[in-house]
Chains A and B, each alone.
Chain A
Amino acid sequence: MKRLLAMLLAVVMVFSLAACGGNNDETKAPETKAPAQTDAPAQTDAPTAPEVNPYLVTEPITIKWWHSLETQYDELIAEIVGHFNDTNEYGITVEAEYIGNYATLNETLVSAQAAGTGLPAITVGGSNYVGNYGSSGMAEDLAPYVQAYGMDLTDFFDGMLKMSYVNDTLVSLPFLVSTQVLYYNADKVAEKNLTVPTEWADVADFVNASVEKDASGNVTFWGGYFAGWDYAYFLPMFMNQGVKLIDVENNTTDLNSEAAVNVVKGVQELVQSGVAQWAYGSGSSATMRKTFYDGNAMFTVHTSSLYNTYIDNIAQAGQFELGMAWYPGVDGRAETTLGGSSILIPAANDQATKNAAFVFLMYLTGAETNVKWADGTGYLITRKSVLDSEEGKAHLEAKPAFKNIYDNLSKALPKIEHTCYTDMGDLLKSYLNLIIIEGQDAQEQLDLLVEELQELLDEAAE
């Protein structure tokens, strides 16, 4: 019986070894770049099986990348993606797909997630949505990948990196990041011998000194143009006054405080007195820009990501020199919020797809590619090392207006992480329209806003 058992065991061992040998012969994995050494396994006397890194790309694969870069960036995308497809050593082929703006991309992504099919391997996510993707578990936790590949996260600017964390989990990486800025007509500023305000308290004087009217009193040159269609543009006005948009700890808001009311009243007065414009509603962004391009407004409050668009359009019109200034602050406090997009990997994909996606993600956010994005678009450089490199210096020589932005970048903060953040923004946008355009009482309307928002905050806390 014992002999029989020994023979059986021997047969099993022979077959096992043969199977292992055969497997080794047949598997011709492409040469892969080993990720950086992680924590070394503890040394023991007993022999252990070599640890297999689950994040390695072992086979050629084709993956989809969803993005929101419009047709004017087609060449840039083709160049960057084409370079990756030609040079990556893993046999990864990326197919880039333009889905639409951040809202459309969100709808498509969420639909694919709910349907459980058709998800891309990697996708861009608008900054307003990434928090939801992260908190719901829809976005993959990137920390293990970062560790496995030894990626240096400290090279990203701090605020941008913070934007990538949700509940202390790394759910995305900074990709095309922007912040709010003031575009101004530099020729007019010089002509009128004015100084671009760095404090909100000086904005009203600047607007009043800039406005031009004809003999009938009709405005021919607006003192300023505020972006009212997106709440992101007026958040800094409140933040720098110390207004707590949402007090996360106490689940309250003080958007009807004296400071908040004064901020709103200031803008209301400028718009109601007919020296400044408040762009609100669908298509108002285009109208605001056209007014500015045509040389009919002193400044616009807008996103730094549109710098190239502003330059191109003003150059076409041949009107004036463009200036770009940091958002005005209060008593030296000049914080802004970060916007734009991050890049993330849907967690529902299979591991092989996610592994390939992360390799592409490293390339997209890597130093070499980062400066190409910054050159080709108006988005910011996201890595400190790039800013200090030769390419970074060349970038700033080509776009000197950005120096001021990078000098202040530490003041650009990620948005508040709260379920009601979007509700707060929507309500604010809605009530500001009533106050600033329709001229309703600021305190009264902000009280109503707070009442409505508090209901939502209480409901969310249940």
Chain B
Amino acid sequence: MSKKTPSSGTQVKTRGMNPKVKHAWLDFSFVVPAIVLLAIFTYYPIAEVIRISFTNWDLLKPEYDYVGFKNYKWLLTGTGGKYFMNSLKVTLIYTVGEIAITVVGGILFALLFNRPGSKGYTFMRVLTFTPRYIAMSSAAVVFLWLYDETYGIFNYFLGMIGAEPIRWLQDKYMAMVSILLLTGWRAIGYGMMIYLANMRSIPETYYEAASLDGANGVQKFFGITLPLLAPTTVFLLVTTFISSMKVFQSVDVLTGGGPSRATEVLVYLVYNYAMNKFRMDQACTIALALFAFLLLVTVATMKISDNKVNYDA
């Protein structure tokens, strides 16, 4: 006759609940707080945004009507579509720039500063990472002065070497470059730190084996370092992509979306429709289009990375 353990089914059955169900409920209870918070602060607002996109809500008026797909029609065939496409293009240009700076700059700086034990390089790493701690709005205000055409220090230095002053924020091409310079100043240290942390986890034996095979530094980098950093690169790609698609503060302070909509990124467009034109309905429709686009690209990136990236390393 077998003995029944305290956790056996019979004992639980006497309490009236299947142990599997009981454990499932127990597990679920641990995630309930997170679900509640997500529901309140994430899913409910998303549902509200969807609902508002079917209305004609002018932010200044308390009452509104449901107008069906009118805002979507406006976005696809009206002026909304034209401005949305312009902002999408601008945002993608910015995104490519920020990703390039974060990934390429980050890996280059990581290679440069990957010198454990050197106080000088530690200091340089701290110096490179520090801008990350400075609020974007504060940094942007300082950069506004640095970029000033007449009194800015950048043009002062250009003048010292006999170069013509640059209209950093007034020229429609330079304005985006100026925003990316500020972004790069803040982002490059972050990319460096993420890469550094992962570079140091690559076993030294791989490099020793490669050296025995006669590989040089470049070959080691492309044959060992870069492939083993692929998961880190995917992580940086996805997180930087999502954050850069939501860029706002630097644009708001430095250019206000100008000149001539050259830096009117998507979130700024949403803000403009909501707070300056008071068209919350149209702002929500644009926000949803941005959401759908982000979701699609993120899912696609994850799918591709699942097939191409080796996470075992």
Contacts and interface: CB of A to CB of B under 8 A. Distances in A.
> Are chains A and B native binding partners rather than an unrelated pairing?
yes
Interface of A: 103, 106-107, 110, 113-114, 116, 132-133, 136-138, 280-284, 287, 290-291, 348, 422-423, 429-431, 433-434, 437-438, 452, 455-456, 459
Most chain B beta carbons < 10 A, residue from A106, A107, A438: A438
Contacts of B275: 106-107, 110
A282 B261 contact: no
B151 A110 contact: no
Interface string B149-174: 11100000000000000010111100
B144 A282 contact: yes
Nearest to B79: A455
Contact of B259 (A103, A280, A290, A291): A280
Given A287-B149, A434-B260, A280 B170 contact: yes
Nearest to A288: B150
Contacts of A422: 276-277
A287 B255 contact: no
A138 B278 CA distance: 12
Nearest to A136: B60
Given A113-B60, A283-B148, A430-B259, 13 more contacts: A103-B276, A110-B278, A116-B62, A133-B60, A136-B278, A284-B170, A287-B149, A290-B151, A433-B259, A434-B259, A437-B259, A455-B78, A459-B78
A442 B267 CA distance: 31
A287 B276 contact: no
B169 A136 contact: no
Contacts of A431: 260
25 contacts: A103-B276, A106-B275, A110-B59, A136-B58, A136-B278, A138-B60, A280-B259, A281-B170, A281-B258, A282-B254, A283-B145, A348-B62, A430-B258, A430-B260, A430-B261, A434-B172, A434-B260, A437-B167, A437-B171, A437-B259, A455-B78, A455-B79, A456-B79, A459-B78, A459-B79
Contact of B169 (A103, A114, A116, A282): A282
Given A280-B259, A282-B256, A287-B150, A137 B61 contact: yes
Interface string B182-196: 000000000000000
B253 interface: yes
A290 B79 CA distance: 39
Most chain B beta carbons < 10 A, residue from A133, A280, A456: A280
B280 interface: yes
Contacts of A110: 59-60, 275, 278
Nearest to A419: B277
A440 to B, nearest CB: 10
Contacts of A429: 258
A30 B276 CA distance: 42
Given A434-B260, A438-B172, A282 B60 contact: no
Contact of B260 (A113, A136, A433): A433
Given A132-B278, A281-B170, A282-B254, A291 B150 contact: yes
A281 B169 contact: yes
A116 B60 CA distance: 10
A431 B79 CA distance: 17
Report whether over half of chain B's contact residues are helix, strand or loop; otherwise say mixed: loop
A287 B155 CA distance: 14
A388 to B, nearest CB: 38
Contacts of B62: 116, 348
Interface string B57-86: 011111000000000001000110000000
Contacts of B255: 281-282
A130 to B, nearest CB: 12
A336 B62 CA distance: 35
**6 A-B pairs with the lowest CB-CB distances in the bound complex, closest first:** A136-B60, A430-B260, A138-B60, A281-B169, A433-B259, A283-B144
A311 B255 CA distance: 29
Nearest to A423: B277
A114 B63 CA distance: 10
Contacts of A282: 144, 169, 253-256
A136 B59 CA distance: 9
B302 to A, nearest CB: 36
Contacts of A455: 78-79
B61 A136 contact: yes
Contacts of B60: 110, 113, 132-133, 136-138
A375 B98 CA distance: 50
A202 to B, nearest CB: 27
Most chain B beta carbons < 10 A, residue from A114, A137, A280, A290: A114
Contacts of A459: 74, 78-79
A452 to B, nearest CB: 8
A422 B149 CA distance: 27
A141 B172 CA distance: 44
A207 to B, nearest CB: 18
Given A110-B275, A136-B58, A138-B61, A433 B145 contact: no
A434 B254 CA distance: 18
B172 A113 contact: no
A137 B259 CA distance: 34
A321 to B, nearest CB: 23
Contacts of A433: 170, 258-260
A459 B169 CA distance: 32
Contacts of A106: 275-276
Contacts of B148: 283, 287
Interface in B29-81: 58-62, 74, 78-79
Contacts of B74: 459
Contacts of A114: 59, 280
Nearest to B264: A430
A287 B145 CA distance: 9
B260 to A, nearest CB: 4
A99 to B, nearest CB: 14
Nearest to B252: A282
A280 B170 CA distance: 6
A113 B59 contact: yes
Nearest to B261: A430
A422 B62 CA distance: 22
Nearest to A286: B148
Interface in B190-209: none
Contacts of A291: 150
B79 to A, nearest CB: 5
A281 B259 contact: yes
Nearest to B149: A287
Nearest to B274: A110
Interface string B120-164: 000000000000000000000000110011110000000000000
A433 B277 CA distance: 22
Contacts of B259: 280-281, 430, 433-434, 437
Contacts of A438: 171-172
A281 B169 CA distance: 7
Most chain A beta carbons < 10 A, residue from B150, B169, B253, B254: B150
Contacts of A113: 59-60
Contacts of B78: 455, 459
B260 A287 contact: no
